[in-house]
């Protein structure tokens, strides 16, 4: 499967496009639409760079979800999982209870697991809570 329009819109709604590098709440240097690979302080990019990185970065998450899911998914379920994976990383997604529940076809319980991923350094983060609620809603739609 590939990322659909709803998934793209969801990710972009939480990954504000920034053309200058900044540190996210965890201190990770970020630029564009949530791009982190090789980003350094004071780096800038063009809109075109940000869009290219978005396609590459989301494709990495798409590939991970395609690799780790063993059951058929709806487009909405897939898009929600890609959004989560884009944000938490492939390793976290691959070893998550959420993924295990998806692969057991326990979609209701898997949907609730989105809400677990709302902490930064052990503290609940309001922005991540909103994102996880949106991902859960898309997953269960």
Please report the DSSP string for 10-61 in residue order.
HHHHHS--EEEEEE-TTS-EEEETTB-TT--TT-B--HHHHHHHHHHHHHHH
Say whether 15 is catalytic. yes
Rounded CA-CA distance 6/11 in Å is 9
Is the sign of the CA dihedral 65, 12, 49, 40 positive or negative? Answer: negative
| Token pair listed for 117 | 């991923």
Sole residue written with tokens 């709803």: 6
Greatest extent of the chain over all pairs of C-alpha atoms, in Å: 45
15, 93, 133, 135: the active-site residue: 15
Active site residues: 15
């Amino acid at each position: 499967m590939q990322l659909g329009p709803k998934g793209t819109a969801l990710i972009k709604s939480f990954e504000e496009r920034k053309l200058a590098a900044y540190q996210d709440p965890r201190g990770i240097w970020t630029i564009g639409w949530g791009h982190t690979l090789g980003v350094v302080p004071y780096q800038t990019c063009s809109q075109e760079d940000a869009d290219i990185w978005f396609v590459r970065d989301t494709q990495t998450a798409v590939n991970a979800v395609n690799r780790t899911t063993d059951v058929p998914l709806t487009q909405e379920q897939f898009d929600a999982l890609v959004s989560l994976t884009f944000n938490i990383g492939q390793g976290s997604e691959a070893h998550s209870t959420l993924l295990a529940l998806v692969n057991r076809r326990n979609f209701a319980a898997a949907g609730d697991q989105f809400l677990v991923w709302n902490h930064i350094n052990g503290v609940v983060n309001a922005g991540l809570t909103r994102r996880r609620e949106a991902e859960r809603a898309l997953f269960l739609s």
